[in-house]
Structure 1
Amino acid sequence: MPSLSRLLSRSAKPASIQRDSLRLTLEDGREIEVLRVRDPRARRIRLSVSERGARLTLPLRASLVSGDAFLQQHRAWLAAQIAAHGEAAPLQRGVTTQLPLRGVLHPLHWGSGRFSHVRMDDDGALTFVSPEHAGPAALQRALREFYEAQARADIGRWLPAYLPGLPRTPRRICLKVMSSQWGSLAPDGTLNLDLSLVLGAPSAFEYVLVHELCHLIHADHSRRFWSEVEARCPAWRDARDYFRDHGRRLKADLHALLA
């Protein structure tokens, strides 16, 4: 039986997650940055690649030396993952020459103006107007506003066709930068969609919208739910395959452009 003093003593503060970064030279001579995370919940050393880049996770008891050795042993795997999904480039004034939108890379031209904004020209090219002194935050904000406007235009075209068959309408639709999900439906009826959807194929974007709308009918992923999806989007399996092949790249591109 524990002593009274032990019961009354303050519990130890749980260990917090620690983060730092290191540089790794790949076999082809390229240098990349790897996020190193010491996580008290981790049970083993793990290496992963996401839209945010490479991440090395270490348990509390693992040494930095063992982590570095694990990273060196998996350099070839890491290079293959990066090659398979490509390296996303950040947004830079006068340097970025194309932007992804609706599954297509559109040519990008830069111009000077009093405030930062992006417009689409009649020929499909994009023009990014900004003051010469505009910093990265202003450029990223303008690009995000452009992508949100384009996404809302797409949703506005698709949504009216699906509303009549729903028990209720969404409370509101929010566009977010989501790390893993493509969409979600909150208990209050708020429908959240990942902003990176507008970078990819419109058919895949529309499928995610349909998927989340069908959760207004069935909150689970039961057979009845998928029947509702199938009735509205017969090609939903093609969209699922599209995300499997291109989803990581979409999220990586958006993160690099807006982060």
Structure 2
Amino acid sequence: MRERAGPGADWRPLPLADGQSLAVRWVRDARARRLKLSINERGIRLTLPPRASERSAWAFLEAHAEWLQRQRRDLGVDPPPLRLAPDALDRLPLWGVELPLVWEEGRCCRLRQDGEQLVFSYTSRSTGERLAAMLRDFLEAEGRARIGALLPALLPGIPRPPTRFRLRPMSSLWGSLAPGGEVSLDLSLVLAEPACFDYVLVHEICHLIVPNHSPAFWHEVSQRYPGWRRVRTRLRQDGLALKARLNQLLAG
């Protein structure tokens, strides 16, 4: 009888030759037909078929250990720990630029832009969670302001306008369109250069015309954003690091 890693998912260390280890999330999936490794901003995941043995899983991991190390380093999905606090952070990314961050103690908790710098007001009782919530609100407001500026030029020719916009951290997608017309955008796009945000917004808006990724859909995208291929390539290259940076900042 084959061994199992147990129900659900659990994190296990994969020892490396240099004495360090990689944390790997083991996930049993009834739909899986083979062992599969994936890596994203949340870490490393090993997907196992229901009847895969632990012995075969460990052998599979050991055979791919060097690849995992290289991927984690190259993709930047394992950033160092970050504390959102006055004595720990002096810059923040916004629209593709690392802006100086000035901390000031005051009567309320607030993040605002002042010229070429950001100013984070805090109180003696401000926790990391509270500061992270303020940062998230600030980034969401930035994204909504950009949507408001771009939308009038995008709506002509659209059969129906979006019903709602949501900006939130997304694990793998950059955006999505719900059947009811709600558009979701990854909040990490606010950290990237504006072209990335603009392309994903155009992409989702065009799905209101063509719901699939047929040539007709890409024709609509090209009409509204001719340089979409270059931006899509950049997101594919740097996207995981961008998502990881947002997770790092919002961890508080």
Q: Is 2:99 the counterpart of 1:88?
A: no
Whole-angstrom CA distance in 2 between matches of 1:132 and 1:64: 50
Local SS of the residue matching 1:164: coil
Counterpart of 1:163 (choices 150, 155, 164) is 155
Structure 1 range deviating more: 133-142 or 224-233: 133-142
Displacement of 1:51 in angstroms is: 1.1
1:41 to 1:143, Cα distance in 2 relative to 1, 3 A: same
Q: Is 2:232 the counterpart of 1:240?
A: yes
Counterpart of 1:22 (choices 3, 9, 12) is 12
| 5+ long unaligned stretches in structure 2 | 1-5
Local SS of the residue matching 1:127: strand
Amino acid at match of 1:190: E
Whole-angstrom CA distance in 1 between matches of 2:202 and 2:208: 10
Whole-angstrom CA distance in 1 between matches of 2:80 and 2:89: 8
> Where does residue 120 of structure 2 map in the other structure?
128
Whole-angstrom CA distance in 2 between matches of 1:154 and 1:46: 39
Displacement of 1:89 in angstroms is: 4.1
Displacement of 1:210 in angstroms is: 1.0
1:17 to 1:105, Cα distance in 2 relative to 1, 3 A: farther
Whole-angstrom CA distance in 2 between matches of 1:33 and 1:247: 21
Amino acid at match of 1:45: L
> Where does residue 24 of structure 2 map in the other structure?
34
Local SS of the residue matching 1:204: helix
Structure 1 range deviating more: 107-116 or 172-181: 107-116
Local SS of the residue matching 2:156: helix
Displacement of 1:96 in angstroms is: 2.8
Whole-angstrom CA distance in 1 between matches of 2:131 and 2:183: 27
> Where does residue 45 of structure 2 map in the other structure?
55
Displacement of 1:81 in angstroms is: 0.4
1:138-149 to 2 correspondences below 5 Å: 138-149=130-141
1:1-259 to 2 correspondences below 5 Å: 17-27=7-17, 29-86=19-76, 87-92=78-83, 93=85, 94-123=87-116, 125-259=117-251
1:159 to 1:250, Cα distance in 2 relative to 1, 3 A: same
Whole-angstrom CA distance in 1 between matches of 2:114 and 2:17: 43
1:168 to 1:59, Cα distance in 2 relative to 1, 3 A: closer
Structure 1 range deviating more: 83-92 or 49-58: 83-92
Structure 1 range deviating more: 113-122 or 246-255: 113-122
Q: Deviations over 1:122-161 (max 9, x none)?
A: 12x2233223443332122111101101111211221121
Whole-angstrom CA distance in 2 between matches of 1:211 and 1:29: 45
Q: Deviations over 1:82-130 (max 9, x none)?
A: 111123345412323322221222233333234332222212x223322
How many residues align? The count is 243
Q: Deviations over 1:207-259 (max 9, x none)?
A: 11111111222222222222111111110111111111111111121222224
1:222 to 1:37, Cα distance in 2 relative to 1, 3 A: closer
Instruction: Check the 8 A contact 1:17/1:40 in 2, yes or no.
Output: no
Whole-angstrom CA distance in 1 between matches of 2:202 and 2:89: 33
Whole-angstrom CA distance in 2 between matches of 1:102 and 1:170: 24
| 5+ long unaligned stretches in structure 1 | 1-15
Displacement of 1:28 in angstroms is: 5.0
Whole-angstrom CA distance in 1 between matches of 2:22 and 2:88: 20
Q: State the TM-score, normalizing by the size of structure 1.
A: 0.84
How big is the alpha-carbon RMSD for the aligned residues of Structure 1 and Structure 2? Answer: 2.2
1:111 to 1:167, Cα distance in 2 relative to 1, 3 A: same
Which structure's CA Rg is the greater one? Answer: 1
Amino acid at match of 1:113: G
